[in-house]
Amino acid sequence: GDSVTQMEGPVTLSEEAFLTINCTYTATGYPSLFWYVQYPGEGLQLLLKATKADDKGSNKGFEATYRKETTSFHLEKGSVQVSDSAVYFCALSERGGADGLTFGKGTHLIIQP
């Protein structure tokens, strides 16, 4: 079956540091890939997505590129802020949309001033 593996953390960085959160996946077909973010006390929000190989999703300074050859969708940001502290979830959907999303276990990111 489908699965998503991501570093679990917590990941602690200083403000303005470079961020990478690794995500790899296993799927039988050609899934769409997503990063969701959960800020403290809030619901999950879609951060970015990519629907086919070599697509780059970007939002709020975050980027992730759909790498079919390495089955990866690593999340990156050049300079993190304290307000980026949250739990980040990598996810895939084989059916193209948001139904039947398979999530990773989440990565807790802590940014220190």
Partner 1 sequence: GAGVSQSPSNKVTEKGKDVELRCDPISGHTALYWYRQSLGQGLEFLIYFQGNSAPDKSGLPSDRFSAERTGGSVSTLTIQRTQQEDSAVYLCASSAERMNTEAFFGQGTRLTVV
Looking at beta carbons only, is 28 or 79 nearer to partner 1?
28
For residue 66, give the nearest of 76, 77, 75, 55 by alpha carbon.
Answer: 55
Looking at beta carbons only, is 67 or 108 nearer to partner 1?
108
Q: Which helix (H) or strand (E) holds 46?
A: strand 44-50
Residue ranges binding partner 1 (CB under 8 A)? 4, 32, 36, 41-46, 49, 51, 89, 91, 95-106
When computed from its CA atoms, the radius of gyration of the chain, rounded to whole angstroms, is 13
Q: Considering the complex, what minimum distance in angstroms separates the CB of residue 71 from partner 1?
A: 17
Looking at beta carbons only, is 17 or 110 nearer to partner 1?
110
Q: Considering the complex, what minimum distance in angstroms separates the CB of residue 68 from partner 1?
A: 18
Question: In the block, which residue shows the tokens 């390495």?
Answer: 70
Task: Give residues with Cβ within 8 angstroms of 33, minimum separation 6.
Answer: 23, 25, 49, 50, 51, 57, 64, 66, 73, 90, 91, 92
Q: Considering the complex, what minimum distance in angstroms separates the CB of residue 41 from partner 1?
A: 8
Q: Considering the complex, what minimum distance in angstroms separates the CB of residue 113 from partner 1?
A: 27
Looking at beta carbons only, is 40 or 113 nearer to partner 1?
40
Lookup: tokens for 89: 């979830």
